[in-house]
């Protein structure tokens, strides 16, 4: 059970600990409209170069970030997220607007909010 479902206001105290565990989870980071262009600009790349190098298409229509062989995000470096200032909305919204039951086990910031 999600301990925040009964009291979602507790999540306002969430502070990311930059543990990067969320960047190592299985699944996909779906890009919304305009995000590929924004990320390409941040990396000083043409959007076509960016999508060819860093993205793939899922379900024949959704653009997602590629993953490394160990399931980590392609932008995860030893120093953290290489695109942190312009990270996709799905990443910005975690874990306040969305999370999975497993998030409570790996996210250091969420762990501090669980009594």
Helices 47-54/35-42 angle, 10° precision:
100
Q: Indicate the burial class of 65 (C-beta count within 10 angstroms; 0-12, 13-18, 19 or more).
A: buried
pLDDT, tens digit only, all 115 positions of the chain: 777 877 778 888 899 999 999 999 999 999 999 999 999 999 999 999 999 999 999 999 999 999 999 999 999 999 999 999 999 999 999 998 999 889 999 999 999 988 7
φ and ψ at residue 96, rounded to 5 degrees: -70, -45
* Percent of the chain whose pLDDT exceeds 90: 77
User: How far apart, in whole angstroms, are the C-alpha atoms of residue 82 and residue 63?
Assistant: 19
Prediction pTM value:
0.88
Span 69-93, pLDDT tens digits? 999 999 999 999 999 999 999 999 9
């Amino acid at each position: 059970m999600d301990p925040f479902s009964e009291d979602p206001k507790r999540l306002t105290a969430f502070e990311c600990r930059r543990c990067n565990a969320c960047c190592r989870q299985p699944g996909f980071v779906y890009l919304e409209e305009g995000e590929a262009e924004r990320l390409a600009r941040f990396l000083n790349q043409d959007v076509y170069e960016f999508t060819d190098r860093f993205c793939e298409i899922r379900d024949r229509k959704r653009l997602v970030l590629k993953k490394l062989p160990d399931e980590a995000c392609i932008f995860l470096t030893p120093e953290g997220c290489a695109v942190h200032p312009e990270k996709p909305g799905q990443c910005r919204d975690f874990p306040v607007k969305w999370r999975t039951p497993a998030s409570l086990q790996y996210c250091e910031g969420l762990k501090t909010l669980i009594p």
